[in-house]
Structure 1
Amino acid sequence: MKPFTHLFFDLDGTLWDFERNSTETLYELYHELDLQTTGVPEFTIFFSDYHLINENLWTAYKRHEITKELLSIGRFVQTLALYGINDENLAMRMSRLYIERSPSKTNLLPCVNEVLEALKPHYRMHIITNGFSEIQSRKLRICGLDRYFDTLITSDEAGVNKPNPAIFDYALKKAGADAAESLMIGDEPEADIEGARLAGIAQLYINLNDKPTIQPPTFEVKSLCETLKILSTSLS
């Protein structure tokens, strides 16, 4: 008997290369909108400032302290304000273009298609993500990853964010799975790994950046490519 029948994957940073895709999109907008002429410093400084503000606002969003609309626009409003630019129309335009273009990027982490192709015949597979429903579904479709997954569970839909165990409970119900037969695969020690642990789901931690977990995960690897070694007993 297989130890697991359902695999739940995180999307951003686990399968979809969020850092590369986001950087490419912001770089395009920086030059297309000629931001340097408005007083924005060179791209590396702009990106570093934006990245920090975006992370802080995402943390606030996960805690239900702000809406997704405020997150989407506020990250650009606050970044521009660092340089004395108080132009809400520009911030709204940047937000709209970013949301339109970023999901169309197709950079994936190493081994994604190889791993999913090998696992698909043996498991029911699902996505569980804190991203926005309309954006995450577009990413999956444009990258061609939607063919691998039975269900997409987003925090929008569930009404709570990872690591809240309620989103994992919601995902299990939607997928028709039991916690005992499920495995969560992700790169975030708190959102993916601790959240799954609290929900009674086994965890496979893809530790890309040597971040410690709160409790030891069920399994740990350094890249998605190594997951087939962990699950190899089922691939026969």
Structure 2
Amino acid sequence: MAATQKVLAIIFDLDNTLIDTRNADTFAFKEVKKVLVSQFPDVDADDVVRAFRKYLVEAEKDPNEIIPVAEWRTELWQRALNSCHPKDAAYLLYRTWMTGRLEHMTFSEDVKKLLARLCKDYKLLLMTNGPSGIQREKMAKCGADKYFDGIIVSGEQPHPKPDISIFETAFEMLSATPEECIMVGDCLSTDIQGGLDSGCRATVWIDPQRQNKEIYFPSPTYSIASVLDLEMVLDDINGIASLSQ
């Protein structure tokens, strides 16, 4: 087979791909528990946090998209408190949680160095699902504008990943064809599925557990333990004749 051309662009997911969102959440909830224990001793801190996390999974934003995200999540804290405290208490928990999360949502020095190297040879685009205000705040904290040629937040688009339309927007922003792009992310159902459906040259799954990618669906082209291993994958993609071999 004829050799394929070099990868032109890399599309990155944000959460748990470039930043450790899980660790940030763990830290933030510990901070919330400290506030609950010190200021609201009449409630069980673990129960309140557990309830909030459940509500957040069920609906991280207003399904009708009427209530602003900050207000919606404050209401979730209010529900978690079982409405036994005024809204000021719920807002305190919300701000403690958000401040704690943002404090740890930064690019590590190693990730910064990786992006600095990659942006010399590739076009880079950041594509993240989530409410616009929340995700933009994270990216501002990371200084993402310094490294990326384009940023796409699903809350500003008609549809989130894995919808093909958001990938088509990415290809247009990058002035690249799907075959010139790879998709890198930690979520099989959004990042990998979207990359496959949109025809990306390759998909790279960030899987710290190093599971057998062949037993998962959708099956990514590559799986790596950390985004810091991406350059080895790029060397492989750029040095082989065809990914279908």
Of 172-181 and 191-200, the range deviating more from structure 2: 172-181
Query: In the TM superposition, what is the alpha-carbon distance from 1:115 to its structure 2 partner?
Result: 2.2
Matches within 5 A, 1:144-223: 144-201=143-200, 202-209=202-209, 210=211, 213-223=216-226
Query: In the TM superposition, what is the alpha-carbon distance from 1:96 to its structure 2 partner?
Result: 4.9
Change (3 A) 1:207 1:200: same
CA distance in 2, matches of 1:3, 1:145: 25
Q: Does the Cα contact within 8 Å between 1:39 and 1:83 map onto a contact in 2? A: no
CA distance in 1, matches of 2:178, 2:66: 29
**TM-score w.r.t. structure 1 length?**
0.79
2:203 is matched by which residue type in structure 1? Q
CA distance in 2, matches of 1:158, 1:27: 33
Query: What CA deviation, in whole Å up to 9, does each residue of 1:163-202 have, x standing for no partner?
Result: 2222111222223221111111000110111122111123
Q: In angstroms, what is the RMSD of aligned CA positions?
A: 3.1
Q: Does the Cα contact within 8 Å between 2:52 and 2:80 map onto a contact in 1? A: no
Q: Does the Cα contact within 8 Å between 1:103 and 1:136 map onto a contact in 2? A: no
Unaligned runs of 5+ in 2: 240-245
Matched, 1:231 2:229: no
Query: What CA deviation, in whole Å up to 9, does each residue of 1:27-85 have, x standing for no partner?
Result: 33443465762543234x44443333322214xx5xx9442846544455445535533
Matched, 1:129 2:132: no
**TM-score w.r.t. structure 2 length?**
0.77
Pick one of 12, 21, 36 that aligns with 1:9: 12
Correspondence for 1:141: 140
Bigger radius of gyration among the two = 2
Q: Does the Cα contact within 8 Å between 1:161 and 1:167 map onto a contact in 2? A: yes
| Structure 2 counterpart SS, 1:163 | coil
CA distance in 2, matches of 1:137, 1:82: 26
CA distance in 2, matches of 1:28, 1:119: 36
Query: In the TM superposition, what is the alpha-carbon distance from 1:221 to its structure 2 partner?
Result: 1.3
CA distance in 1, matches of 2:48, 2:63: 25
CA distance in 2, matches of 1:156, 1:40: 35
Q: Does the Cα contact within 8 Å between 2:203 and 2:222 map onto a contact in 1? A: yes
Q: Does the Cα contact within 8 Å between 1:111 and 1:224 map onto a contact in 2? A: no
CA distance in 1, matches of 2:43, 2:165: 41
Query: In the TM superposition, what is the alpha-carbon distance from 1:127 to its structure 2 partner?
Result: 0.4
Change (3 A) 1:215 1:25: closer
Matches within 5 A, 1:103-122: 103-108=102-107, 111-122=110-121
Q: Does the Cα contact within 8 Å between 1:8 and 1:128 map onto a contact in 2? A: yes
Change (3 A) 1:40 1:164: farther
Q: Does the Cα contact within 8 Å between 1:14 and 1:109 map onto a contact in 2? A: no
1:161 is matched by which residue type in structure 2? P
Query: In the TM superposition, what is the alpha-carbon distance from 1:143 to its structure 2 partner?
Result: 2.4
| Structure 2 counterpart SS, 1:55 | helix
Unaligned runs of 5+ in 1: none
Identity %, equivalent residues: 24
